[in-house]
Amino acid sequence: MARKKQEPEKKKINTDGIMDLHGSTTEQPISETLELNYMPYAMSVIVSRAIPEIDGFKPSHRKLLYTMYKMGLLTGGRTKSANIVGQTMKLNPHGDAAIYETMVRLARGNETLLHPFVDSKGNFGKVYSRDMAYAASRYTEAKLENICTELFKDIDSDTVDMVDNYDATMKEPSLLPTTFPNVLVSANQGIAVGMASNICSFNLREVCQTAIALMENPEHDILETLPGPDFSTGGQLLFDEAATREVYSTGRGSFKLRAKWNYVKEGNLIEITQIPYTTATEVILDKVSELMKLGKIKEIADMRDETDLGGLKLTIDLKRGVDPEKLMQKLFRLTTLQDSFPCNFNILIAGMPRVMGVGEILEEWTAWRTDCVKRRLFFQIRKKEERLHLLKGLKRILLDIDKAIAIIRETELDSEVIPNLMIGFGIDEVQAGFVAEIKLRNINKEYILKQTKALDQLEQEIDELNDILNSPKKLKKVIIQELKAVADKYGQDRKTEILYDAQQIAPEEEEEAAPDYPVTVFVSQEGYLKKITAQSLRMSGEQKFKEGDSLRFSRETTNRAEFLVFTDKFQCYKSRLSDFEDSKASLLGDYLPQKLGFEPGENMVDLVFCGDYKGFVLFFFENGKAAKVPLSAYETKTNRRKLTGAYSDKSPLVKVMALDADAQMVLYSSDGRAAIFSTAQLLPKTTRNTQGVAVLTLKKKAVLQKAVLLEESGIVNEGRYRTKTIPSAGSLLKEEDAVEKQQTFEV
């Protein structure tokens, strides 16, 4: 009899628990899951990936530069980037793409840093270009820039801790002993878990001068030596003393940046040669193109990117008679040719993230650098003391060189040479070992005298080093001298020009630009809008609509009138009639969802005119509730055209209506009931997305179906449906009250 094959039992996994090795599950509280699983990940991202440390580097930067240093690329020639990337993976096992991206950012060719650390050859992209891709690592070459000498100076003198790499097969530095405050010189950005860091770059010479001034006088005004940030893309900094002092004291705030341009009269064109660090040429070109299509910029004939090996250049061809200064002011207002750099000086200090101002950062860097110099002095003293100790033993041989030779010759066993020398001359094992290793040709009085002559000099050097080590004033002097040397050797002029009396951008003058004249607006049920002038309306015939479409309402107004379009996605779109071309009765008009940029699947619910924003908006929902919101809640001081959370999302919207004053309304339910109430019974709500209050009590499965003004309802027996309190169940609609009068519905 054949044995039936036993099927393996299927494991059941409880999604609320954790499966162990045996397939069973155990419950685990969410707090414990966060503590055991998520918190270590979050801390790893903060401490070991995204936030820079006091040396100005993230771990990825440090591992790459140290690998290049160990490869001999500080003094040697360039090598293929792919070779560097492969070697770096011994320290940074996060994939070659991530390592190469780090190298690109540090490279001279990319122009991200004021003082790049990688001397690059080949295409490394550009920081000011969004679309210019850098070449693959197999095509480019790199070595370390000369300034890296200041990063690795005395790294072999125990100035920083050396720690194991990820698999404990080699050592790497926990920090690089930078001789200048690189944390403020190199721009850095990082997004961790629950926090971020965004550090702008400052001019190296100015940072060194500020660090020196603060060491000499802690009350020094930083603004005197550090007027503002300096960016690799240049541009112009709009100086604001209050904003600058806020960043310097708190580490938070922003700097306003503006593009640098000049007008070429011969060709009637504008050349933009430097742009803000925070934007890209493609972003600017796309925005200008969009504004030209919308008709908001009519002064430009053409704009193109003429960037070449000579550097960045965006060229704008002007139309005849255009004032270049006024046009640039307009572009500063409407595009990222003027932008802000948000600062968040979040730095890891002893493994803890801290947001600090410039003064506090320089204070922390000085303390850390002082510790590095102390460790270097300790190392130097220890090495000199070891040498001094050996030479003191050698000096003892001067008493009787022949005796030393005799001891070595007469000793039968090799292992007894050192002990016999120790006994014969009264020296220790280290000194005896040194004497025993001297070559035969050097066992002469001249050689020994030459070696021991350095004893006095060594003792003097050790005393001087100890003197510096024990004197805070002299330690400070050493650091200041190093800062001055770096500033003199690598300092360069500012790239970002500071404008102390920059012309403020004039307020938008769209109202002045748009002519004002009477128009009649026609809006269809499907969302087509026609704006027709009085003259055209007199000559027009019957209004044309798409098949199956009909008139929603018409209204007489002016060309500058603003209106709001509410959609079924709880959003509101704001526009002006001046943004629409004059139309004719024989045309369909502009399709609002397309013109205003609706999202896919988004539909118009209603359109209301804003007037002077003095009245209020009424919202009626299927659940029988109504909300009364002041129109002023939808007035925006900026050019924002789209408002999210424009009304409550708790129930589908039935009707939106704008009123200047309270009025009588009629509400109709789907089960044939009607109720009349006054909008004065509704209290205005300050928040746009308020749920409102119940005005109509609905029976099961019934919904509020329609809301109209009383005078437009056609109701004859008003007393039957009128209610003094809300909510009201209303009354069954009689046949004579259900007849609707044919009128134009005006909002």
pLDDT of residue 289: 93
497: phi then psi, degrees, rounded to nearest 5: -80, 140
Query: Residue 681 corresponds to which tokens in the numbers above?
Result: 């019974």
- Cα angle: 713, vertex 653, 677; to 5 degrees: 40
Q: Could you report the per-residue pLDDT of 209-250, keeping only the tens digit for each?
A: 999 999 999 999 999 999 999 999 999 999 999 999 999 999
pLDDT of residue 504: 62
Q: Could you report the per-residue pLDDT of 140-160, keeping only the tens digit for each?
A: 999 999 999 999 999 999 999
Q: Residue 93: what residue type?
A: P
Q: Could you give the C-alpha distances from 220 to 200, 215, 362, 684, in angstroms and in order?
A: 22, 9, 12, 55
Q: Could you report the per-residue pLDDT of 114-123, keeping only the tens digit for each?
A: 999 999 999 9
CATH for 57-177, among 3.90.199.10, 3.40.50.150, 3.40.50.620, 3.40.50.2300?
A: 3.90.199.10
Q: What's the CA gap between 353 and 335, in Å, rounded?
A: 35
DSSP lists the bridge partners of residue 276 as none
Question: Residue holding tokens 């040719």?
Answer: 337
pLDDT class of 1 with cuts at 50, 70, 90: very low
For residue 683, is pLDDT > 60?
yes
Q: What's the CA gap between 207 and 205, in Å, rounded?
A: 6
pLDDT of residue 634: 85
First to last CA, the chain: 88
Q: Which comes out higher in pLDDT, residue 379 or 588? A: 379
pLDDT of residue 269: 94
Name 79's Cβ contacts closer than 8 Å, sequence gap at least 6. Answer: 71, 73, 141, 142, 143
Please confirm, yes or no, whether 100 is among the known catalytic residues: no
For residue 282, is pLDDT > 90?
yes
pLDDT of residue 10: 44
For residue 639, is pLDDT > 70?
no
- The mean pLDDT value for 715-730 works out to 84
Question: Domain locations in the chain?
Answer: 57-177, 260-336, 371-490, 510-737
Question: Within a 10 A sphere around the Cβ of 522, how many other Cβ atoms?
Answer: 21
- The mean pLDDT value for 175-198 works out to 93
Question: Residue holding tokens 């000096």?
Answer: 395
Q: Which comes out higher in pLDDT, residue 506 or 557? A: 557
Judge: domain 510-737, CATH 3.30.70.260.
no
Q: Which range, 123-137, 587-601, 714-728, has the best average confidence (pLDDT)?
A: 123-137
Beta strands in 204-299 (DSSP E): 236-238, 252-258, 260-264, 269-274
For residue 707, is pLDDT > 80?
yes
Q: What's the CA gap between 608 and 562, in Å, rounded?
A: 9
Beta strands in 568-672 (DSSP E): 571-576, 590-591, 604-609, 616-621, 625-630, 642-644, 653-659, 664-669
pTM over 0.75: no
Is 538:585 a contact under the CB 8 Å cutoff?
no
Q: Which comes out higher in pLDDT, residue 626 or 538? A: 626
- The mean pLDDT value for 301-306 works out to 93
Q: Could you give the C-alpha distances from 217 to 214, 221, 478, 673, in angstroms and in order?
A: 5, 9, 16, 83
pLDDT of residue 747: 43
Least confident of 631-640, 661-670, 681-690: 631-640
- The mean pLDDT value for 564-573 works out to 90
CATH number of this structure's domain 371-490:
1.10.268.10
Of 201, 161, 180, 187, the closest CA to residue 61 belongs to 187
How would you classify residue 689: left for phi > 0, otherwise alpha for psi between -120 and 50, otherwise beta?
alpha
User: Which among 38, 41, 100, 139 is annotated as catalytic?
Assistant: 139
Domain spanning 260-336, CATH class: alpha beta
pLDDT class of 377 with cuts at 50, 70, 90: very high
DSSP lists the bridge partners of residue 567 as 604
- The mean pLDDT value for 629-649 works out to 80
For residue 702, is pLDDT > 70?
yes
pLDDT of residue 494: 95
Q: Could you report the per-residue pLDDT of 64-108, keeping only the tens digit for each?
A: 999 999 999 999 899 999 999 999 999 988 889 999 999 999 999
Q: What's the CA gap between 737 and 691, in Å, rounded?
A: 30
Q: Which comes out higher in pLDDT, residue 467 or 391? A: 467
- The mean pLDDT value for 524-553 works out to 86
Q: What percent of the chain has pLDDT over 90?
A: 47
Query: Residue 652 corresponds to which tokens in the numbers above?
Result: 């589908």
For residue 438, is pLDDT > 90?
no
Least confident of 98-112, 339-353, 530-544: 530-544
pLDDT of residue 101: 95
pLDDT of residue 545: 87
pLDDT class of 288 with cuts at 50, 70, 90: very high
For residue 402, is pLDDT > 90?
no
Is 201:467 a contact under the CB 8 Å cutoff?
no
Residue 23: Cβ-neighbour burial (10 angstroms; 0-12, 13-18, 19+): exposed
Is 685:692 a contact under the CB 8 Å cutoff?
yes
